Amino acid sequence: MSNAKVVWKGGLSFEGSAGSGFSLPLDTTAAQGGQDSGFRPMELLLVGLAGCTAMDVISILKKKQQDVVSFEVAVKGERAEEHPRVYTHITIEYILTGHAIDPAAAERAVELSETKYCSAQAMLSKAAKIDHLITIKEA
């Protein structure tokens, strides 16, 4: 079982923590009554998605003996106009830099993350359309 909590720091600022022992600041913009001193909660959903799928993909690529020297996952989320302003469309871009990375290996790694391993992606895909882009650069 996972657990998390937030502790109010004043205004709309909170400190979030999880069972892992790590913590991070949460807040919102001044226009929304915050002090702009931390992550927005909805941003953290995208960070969690990026981290979940990134760990899957790099692990699979290493097992496939791909020579990756740099790796980044960029996630963009579009939100509904009306409250509760859920994500309606998410684009995940995998940016791989390395030596002779096999595009088929990269595509398979992303597919396995999407369909089998990434629980964050499985959960968010119930609410939002998720697209994947793979960019491969030669080092």
Q: What pLDDT does residue 2 have?
A: 92
Q: What pLDDT does residue 66 have?
A: 98
Cβ contact 66:106 at 8 Å: yes
Q: What is the pLDDT of residues 3-60, one digit of tens each?
A: 999 999 999 999 999 999 999 999 999 999 999 999 999 999 999 999 999 999 999 9
Q: What pLDDT does residue 42 have?
A: 97
For the entire predicted model, the pTM comes to 0.94
Q: What pLDDT does residue 46 have?
A: 98
Buried/exposed 94-120: b ≥16 CB within 10 Å, e otherwise: bebbbeebbeebbeebbeebbeebbeb
Q: What is the pLDDT of residues 66-101, one digit of tens each?
A: 999 999 999 999 999 999 999 999 999 999 999 999
Torsion over CA: 53, 58, 61, 67 (sign):
positive
